[in-house]
Amino acid sequence: MPARLFRSARRDRNRFVVLYVVLVAGLLLAAATFVWEARIIVRDGVMEGEAFTVLSVANRALDDLQDAETGQRGYLLTGSAGYLQPYDRGTRDVKAATQRLRRLVATDSASLEILGRIEPVAQTTLSELARTVELARGGDRGEAIALVNSGQGKQEMDTLRAEFDGLRGHWEARRQGIADDARSRVLFCAGALGVSAVLVGGLLVYALMIEQRAFANISAYSEAMNREAGCDPLTGLPNRRRVLAQIDALAARPDSGALRVALLFLDVDGFKRVNDVLGHSEGDAFLRRLAQRLSAVVRREDMLARVGGDEFVALVTHYADDEDLRQLARRLIGQVHAVAQAEYAGRFDIGLSIGIATFPDRVRHLRQLIDAADTAMYAAKGEQSSTFRFASATKNDSAYSISAGKHD
């Protein structure tokens, strides 16, 4: 049993080590993956913010050009200086917006290419707007209007709108791609977290199963050790320790005062002669056969134990009266005679001396049963072979008087 328990414990330990390594490795891998994905998601967030900024600045630049054009047209048609305010603001802001766009898209070659086409057209448009305004300010509004009506400015604005639309479309697609990538990574992390939780849960359940099995093995081993500790290795009967534990258990019961318990102390007479003549091996074999025969006459709910070399104890509960115990003593003595006759055919004078103590009428405490029955047994042995005696407690409960009985 210890060897099997050791092998089982070693296997369980190896399983725990493997489980621990797998769990730690899995958690480290999951943590590394989450950190990596989190960094990418943060980067995507920054890039999406940059895309929004580019789109905003591009829209602002186009709006500034349109404001400048609107101010120019209003001033040419009405001559009102109030229209020069949006014109001045638009021409000033569009330059700043264009410069900011170049800084924002400095790392994107496609955007730089588009911006490279926008800037000269925007410069040409601004130059034409400025020329017409200067003509109008100089009093030559007719020539300024004729220049506007030539359609060149409209073509340039249409070209700018198309180029800005291309730039915005490029960055909108880029922003959408970044958002989709971030969304897919978030979903991946959520799925990976769910799978990791399931795996960790499964591993913990498996660990719990291993732990329960280990505790079950330990419990089984402990129970086996307790059985072995309370078992006589020669006969397989309970031993003195087991008898004492059973008496303690009876004494600890709440209704112990209402119990009727008897203990018969058995000593095999003449057994030493068997050992001396035939040897200890034959003596051991005789004791094993005797234990089997004595067990046959003891009730299943009672206990027959070997407490010494040729000494046995029968712990009896729920008996009717002393006559039940006398009959049991006679049957036990008869079994000893039967085994001795069957084995040795009268070669050895083998008998059985029995001392009987009862609770609560002969002893006041259950733990006094063994001593009282032992004293009664020696009294029986001193008279003749195959005799039983009852012990009767005196007033001080420390000495026992003997009432006689014999095997008929």
* 15-49 tens-digit pLDDT: 778 877 887 888 888 888 878 888 888 887 887 88
- Whole-angstrom CA distances from 339 to 292, 311, 315, 345 are 10, 16, 22, 9
Which domains, and CATH codes, for the chain?
2-203 (1.20.1330), 240-390 (3.30.70.270)
Q: What's the rounded mean pLDDT across residues 329-338?
A: 96
Long-range contacts from 195-201, C-beta under 8 angstroms, 24+ separation: 196/26, 196/27, 196/30, 199/26, 200/23, 200/26, 200/27
**What was the pLDDT predicted at 234?**
93
- pLDDT tier at 397, thresholds 50, 70, 90: very low
Neighbours of 290 (CB within 10 A): 25
Query: 151 in the Ramachandran plot: left (φ > 0), alpha (ψ -120 to 50) or beta?
Result: left
Give the pLDDT confidence score for residue 1 in this predicted structure.
55
pTM to 2 decimals?
0.51
Q: What is the pLDDT of residues 193-244, one digit of tens each?
A: 888 888 888 878 887 888 787 777 777 767 766 666 789 999 999 999 999 9
Strand (E) or helix (H) holding 296 = helix 280-297
**Structure tokens that stand for 368 in this block:** 């006094």
pLDDT at 2: 61
For the cut 70, the answer to whether the pLDDT of residue 5 exceeds it is no
SS3 230: coil
CA-CA distance, 213 to 87, in Å (whole number)?
87
Where b means 16+ CB within 10 Å and e means fewer, 75-92 reads bbeeeeeebbebbeebbe
Tell me the average pLDDT across 297-309: 94
For helices 240-252 and 369-383, give the axis angle rounded to 10 degrees.
Answer: 130
Least confident range of 121-135, 301-315, 364-378: 121-135
**Quick one: which H or E segment has residue 134?**
helix 109-137
Residue 372 CA to residue 400 CA, distance in Å, equals: 7
Tell me how far CA of residue 58 lies from CA of 86, 219, 358, 373, 378, in angstroms. 18, 78, 110, 112, 118
Position 408 scores a pLDDT of 46
In percent, the amount of the chain with pLDDT more than 70 equals 93
Type of residue at 235 = T
| Section 274-302 average pLDDT | 94
d(CA 30, CA 23): 10
Residue 59 to residue 99: CA distance in whole angstroms: 14
Query: Are the C-beta atoms of 83 and 75 separated by less than 8 Å?
Result: yes
Closest to 375 measured CA to CA, from 353, 359, 352: 353
Percent of the chain at pLDDT > 90 equals 34
- Name the pLDDT band for 395 (thresholds 50, 70, 90): very low
Q: State how beta strands 387-393 and 351-359 pair.
A: parallel
The two tokens of residue 332 are 């036990």
